[in-house]
Structures are given as C-alpha cells and as structure tokens.
C-alpha cells in the first residue's frame, strides 16, 4: 500500500489515498473487472463507468485544536465520505457491510491498520440511502466515517 | 436547573441551524441556490418535541437528492455545511447555558 503513515504536511491527500488504497486492497469487486482502479475512486468519475463503484471523498476537517500551550501540534476530526453505488439494493447493502466491517476490524494491529497510520477513534456518524428515482435507478448508500488525527 | 438551560440552548440551536440551512438554500451562502418553486425552502423545519434534542429536516423527496446528489446531480450539502458552519456557535450556546 502506498501510504504507510499520514504525514502532517500532506494529511488531506494522504488520508484520502490511504482510505482508497485500503479499500482497493480489501474489498472484492462484484463486477470482476480485475483492476481495483476501475472499482474504487477518489471522486465521482467523469468518464462512463460500469457499476458497482465506490467513491471516497473527504468531508472536511473540523474541531482543530492545539494539543497544549506552546505546542504546534494539533488534534483534528477528519471525516471521510464513502459512497457505494450499485445496481440493486442487495449489491449495495453487501458492499456497504463489507466496507463497514473492513474499517471496524482494521483499527489495531502491527500492519497498515488505521491506528498505525495515524487515524484514531473510529466512528461512523451516518449512513443514508440515496436511490436514484425510478425502478432502474442506481442504488447508493452514503456513509460518513470520522477519525481523530494528530497532526505532528 | 442546568439541564433546563441546556435543553433550551439545544432547542435554540435547532433554530440557528434551520436559519442557516434556509440561507444556504436561498443562495446566500457558498452552496448553489436551490429555489425554484420554494417548496424545498419552505419545507425545512425544526422539531423540538424531544428533550435535549433538536432535529432540522425536510420531508420533500428532492431534499435527499439535493443534499447527497445522485449519479446525475451534484450534491449541494445545504444541511451538512450549515451544521459545520454553526458548530462553534452551538457549542458556545450550550457552554454558556450550563455555566
């Protein structure tokens, strides 16, 4: 995996790339495309795609606070939006479960778990269904994951 | 008594967020304007029926598409951005109430 640690000077891009690469390495593609780059993206693709896909975006940084007097380090809340776009409800829900379970069970350890790269205090704040209108409309689920990050 | 004050502060915070969401929908913030007939704008309500809880919501079907986007519509984030913009103010309101 490319991002081994979220570096303070590039924490936004590192954070997004870590989440994306972590999903690419661990979530199986139901479309059997063979290339995870065709399945998991960091923004909604501009070119035509085959569904299902997963998009990862940052939802902003909030609550940035210094760690103490005379200290340049900050703690902040980082939010990531992971959205599953699928052809039907079953596919959407299976992928959503896999994504959630991956983040839930990949927090602590000695490898590339979230706590090791600098993302602590796993929390999922919302999960909302947003289905395109119509019977044939795409089914999507928007999840928001929050982490505590210490910028050193 | 502190819980009464906190309850009032939380309910007041709901109205603060509602006003911010409406300003956002009306085009007075960075998000794109989402007014055509005014149905969406007028549907934003604050529910303060529960203690220590305030819920700002809209019950029109297009609100979900406006907030989160679809495969064809870009998201407009009226609610989530409003919440972020007012977070600091809400924290201060509640802190003041329970001092």
ipTM: 0.78
Tokens in use for A44? 């909604």
The interface residues of chain B toward chain A in range 7-36, judged by CB-CB distance below 8 A, are none
The interface residues of chain B toward chain A in range 44-73, judged by CB-CB distance below 8 A, are 64-65, 68-72
What Å distances lie between residue A9 and A3, A5, A14, A123, B11, CA to CA?
14, 12, 9, 24, 39
Residue B10: pLDDT band by 50, 70, 90 thresholds?
very high
Which chain B residue has its CA at the smallest distance from A83's CA? Answer: B68
Q: Which residues of A touch B89 (CB under 8 A)?
A: none
Q: Which residues of A touch B68 (CB under 8 A)?
A: 128, 130, 140, 142
pLDDT for res B34: 95
pLDDT for res B72: 87
Across the 152 residues of chain A, what is the mean pLDDT of every consecutive 10-residue run?
82 93 93 88 88 93 90 93 95 96 91 88 94 89 95 86
Phi and psi based region of residue A32 (left: phi greater than 0; alpha: psi -120 to 50; beta: remaining): left
Q: Which residues of B touch A44 (CB under 8 A)?
A: 69, 71
Tokens in use for A11? 């924490």
Contact status of B92 with chain A (Cβ, < 8 Å): no
Who among A62, A128, A130 is closest to B87 (CB)?
A62
Residues 6+ apart with CB under 8 A from A18: A1, A3, A6, A117, A119
In this model, does residue B2 exceed pLDDT 80? Answer: no
Q: Which residues of A touch B64 (CB under 8 A)?
A: 128, 130
Say if the Cβ atoms of A138 and B71 lie within 8 Å. yes
Residue among A73, A72, A78 nearest A60 (CA): A78
> HSE-up of B12 (CA within 13 Å, CB side)?
14
Which segments of A28-118 are extended strands (E)?
40-41, 53-66, 74-86
Please tell me the pTM assigned to this model: 0.87
Chain A with chain B: Cβ pairs closer than 8 A: 27
Contact status of B83 with chain A (Cβ, < 8 Å): no
Say if the Cβ atoms of B71 and A142 lie within 8 Å. no
pLDDT for res B1: 64
pLDDT for res A134: 83
Record: fold of A8-151: STM4215-like (3.30.2000)
Length of chain A as a residue count? 152
Q: Which residues of A touch B70 (CB under 8 A)?
A: 130, 132-133, 137-138, 140
């Amino acid at each position: 995996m490319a991002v081994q640690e979220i570096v303070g000077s590039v924490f936004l891009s590192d954070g997004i790339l870590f989440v994306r690469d972590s999903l690419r390495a661990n979530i199986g593609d139901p479309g059997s495309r063979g290339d995870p780059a065709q399945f998991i993206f960091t923004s909604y693709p501009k070119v035509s795609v085959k569904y299902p896909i997963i998009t990862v975006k940052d939802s902003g940084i909030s609550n940035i606070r210094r760690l103490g007097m005379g200290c340049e380090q900050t703690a902040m809340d980082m939010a990531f939006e992971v959205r599953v776009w699928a052809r039907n409800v079953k596919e959407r829900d299976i992928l959503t479960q896999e994504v959630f379970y991956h983040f839930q069970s990949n927090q602590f350890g000695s490898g590339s778990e979230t706590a090791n790269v600098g993302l602590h205090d796993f929390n999922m704040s919302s999960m909302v269904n947003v289905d395109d209108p119509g019977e044939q409309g795409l089914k999507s689920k928007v999840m928001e994951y929050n982490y505590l990050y210490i910028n050193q | 008594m502190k819980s009464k004050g906190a309850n009032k502060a939380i309910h007041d915070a709901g109205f603060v967020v509602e006003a911010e969401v409406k300003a956002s929908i009306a085009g007075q913030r960075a998000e794109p304007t989402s007014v055509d007939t005014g149905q969406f704008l007028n549907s934003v309500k604050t529910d303060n029926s529960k203690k220590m809880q305030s819920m700002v919501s809209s019950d029109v079907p297009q609100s979900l598409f406006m907030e989160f986007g679809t495969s064809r519509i870009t998201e407009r984030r009226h609610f989530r951005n409003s919440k972020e913009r007012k977070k600091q103010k809400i924290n201060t309101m509640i802190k003041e109430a329970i001092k």
